[in-house]
Structure 1
Amino acid sequence: MTDRKKGKRGLLWLTALMLICLGGLAAWLFFKGRNGTDCVTRALAARQTALAIADGEEINAAGIQNFSQDDAENWYVPYAEYLYGQGIWDAEQIPADRKAMGGALNCQELLYMAEWLQLPEKITFSNGASGKDPVSKEDWSHFYELLLGKYDTAGAVIEQEILLIGTPNNLEDAGSWEARTDKGVLNFQGLSLDSMVDMRLKVRTKGAELLQVEEVVSEEITYENVWLDSYGSGELKVYLYGTWRKFQVGSIEKECSGMTGDIMLKKGKVTEVALKKETIRGKLLAAGDGEMEIEGYGKVPLADTFHAYRTYGGFAELSAGDLMIGYDQAEFVVAEGKICAALIGKSVTAENIRVLLTDAKIGSIFHETAAFTSDKAFTVTYNEGEASERHEAGESVEINKDSPYFSKGRVHITPDDGGKIGFTSFSRKYGAPWYEGTIELAVSEEGILIINEVDLETYLCYVVPSEMPESYGLEALKAQAVCARSYACRQIEGSAYSTYGAHVDDSTTFQVYNNTETDDLTRQAVEETYGEVLTYGGSLVTTYYYATSCGFGNDMQVWGSDQTKYPYLKSIYMADGAAPDLSSEEAFRAYLENREGGNLESGAPWYRWETTISTEKMTARMDKFLKDYAKSHEELVLFRQGDGSFAAADGGNGPDSIGNVTGMKVEERNQSGFVNRLLIEGTEGAVRIERPGTVRALLGDTEHVYTRLDGSTSTGKTILPSASVWMEEIKDGEALSGWKLRGGGYGHGVGMSQTAASTLAGQGKSCVEILQYFYPGTEIFQEY
Structure 2
Amino acid sequence: MKKKLWLMGICICLLILIFAKNIYKQLNQDKESVTMGPQQETVLDDKGGITVKEALRLLGYLGVMNEQTGEELITEKEEEYFNYNDGRTTLTEVCNELSIQENDVTKKLSFDLPGGADSKVMTEKEFLNLYESILAALPKDKKPVTETTMFILGKQTNQGTGSEDVIVTDQGHFIYTDAKSYEDLYTNGILNPINKNTGDNTVETSDDEPGILFQPENYIDCKVMAYVSGNKLVYVKDILNEQTTLHNVWITSGENSTVTAFVNDITRDFTTRYKLSKEIKGQIGDLVIEDKEIVKISIKPDKINGKVLVANQDYIEIEGYGKVDLDDNYKIYKIYDELSMEVTNSILVGYTATDFVVADGKISAALIKESIKAKNIRVLIKTDNFEDIYHNKVQLTATKDFTVTAGI
Range into which the TM-score falls when normalised by the shorter chain: 0.5 to 0.7
Q: Which residue of 2 aligns with 1:143?
A: 130
SS at the partner of 1:236?
strand
Match of 2:88 among 99, 114, 119: 114
SS in 2 for 1:53: coil
Q: How does 1:651-666 map to 2 (within 5 A)?
A: none
SS at the partner of 1:84?
Answer: helix
Counterpart position of 1:186: 174
In the alignment, which residue of structure 2 is the partner of 1:91?
77
| Residues 217/299 of structure 1: CA separation in 2 closer, same or farther (3 Å cut) | farther
**1:342 and 2:366 are equivalent in the alignment:** yes
CA pair 218-153 structure 1, distance change in 2 beyond 3 A: closer
1:243 matched to 2:266? The reply is: yes
Deviation at 1:327, TM superposition (A): 0.4
**Is the aligned partner of 1:230 residue 2:253?**
yes
Name the CA shift for 1:281/1:513 in 2 (closer, same or farther; >3 Å). Answer: closer
Cα RMSD for the two superposed structures: 4.2
After TM superposition, list the pairs within 5 Å mapping 1:428-439 onto structure 2. none
DSSP-derived class of the 1:157 partner? coil
Q: Distance in 2 between matches of 1:145 and 1:212?
A: 12
Structure number with greater CO (CA < 8 Å, separation at least 6) is 2
Whole-Å separation in 1 of the counterparts to 2:267 and 2:146:
27
Query: Residue 114 of structure 1 aligns to which amino acid in structure 2?
Result: R
Aligned positions of 1:30-429 closer than 5 A: 34=45, 40=50, 42-54=52-64, 58-59=66-67, 62=68, 82-85=69-72, 87=73, 90-94=76-80, 105=81, 109-118=83-92, 120-121=102-103, 125=111, 135-137=123-125, 139-145=126-132, 147-148=134-135, 155=142, 157-168=144-155, 177-188=165-176, 189-192=178-181, 194=216, 196-214=219-237, 219-231=242-254, 234-249=257-272, 251-354=275-378
DSSP-derived class of the 1:467 partner: coil
Contact 1:309 1:342 in 2 (8 A): yes
Structure 1 pair 325/179, CA: closer, same or farther in 2 (3 Å)? same
What is the CA distance between 1:251 and its match in structure 2?
2.6
Task: Name the SS for the 2:370 alignment partner.
Answer: coil
TM-score w.r.t. structure 1 length? Answer: 0.34
| One-letter code aligned to 1:157 | P
**Aligned to 2:55, what secondary structure does the other structure show?**
helix
Residues 243, 288 of structure 2: 8 Å contact kept:
yes
What pairs with 1:434-453 in structure 2 (closer than 5 Å)? none
Q: Are residues 40 and 304 of structure 1, via their aligned partners in 2, closer, same or farther at CA, if it must alter by over 3 Å?
A: farther
The alpha-carbon distance between structure 1 residues 321 and 143, as it changes in their structure 2 partners (threshold 3 A), is: same
Q: Which amino acid aligns with 1:350?
A: A
**Cα pair 1:43 1:190 within 8 Å, conserved:** no
Q: Aligned equivalents of 1:154 and 1:281: distance in 2?
A: 40
* 1:129 CA displacement: 9.1
Measured at CA, do residues 156 and 129 of structure 1 come closer, stay the same or move farther in structure 2, by a change above 3 Å?
A: closer
**1:273, distance to aligned residue in structure 2 (A):** 1.9
- TM-score, normalised to structure 2's length? 0.62
2:395 is aligned, of 442, 467, 471, to: 467
Q: Percent identity?
A: 25
How many residues are matched? 307
Deviation, 1:353, is 3.4
5+ unaligned residues in a row in structure 2: which ranges? 1-43, 96-101, 182-213
Distance 1:173 1:190 in 2: 21
Q: Describe how 1:599-678 pairs up with structure 2 within 5 A.
A: none
Q: Is the 8 A contact 2:170 2:246 kept in 1?
A: no
CA distance in 2, matches of 1:302, 1:39: 50
With over 3 angstroms needed to count, the CA separation of the structure-2 counterparts of 1:320 and 1:147, relative to structure 1, is closer
Q: Deviations over 1:544-584 (max 9, x none)?
A: xxxxxxxxxxxxxxxxxxxxxxxxxxxxxxxxxxxxxxxxx
- Check the 8 A contact 2:179/2:233 in 1, yes or no: no
Gaps of 5+ in 1: 1-32, 63-81, 95-104, 367-427, 430-465, 469-476, 486-511, 516-784
1:276 touches 1:333 (CA, 8 Å); kept in 2? yes
The secondary structure found in structure 1 opposite 2:128 is: helix
Structure 1's 164 and 90: CA in aligned 2 closer, same or farther, altered over 3 A?
A: farther
1:375-407 deviation per Cα after TM superposition (whole angstroms, max 9, x unaligned):
xxxxxxxxxxxxxxxxxxxxxxxxxxxxxxxxx
Alignment of 1:568-587 (within 5 A): none
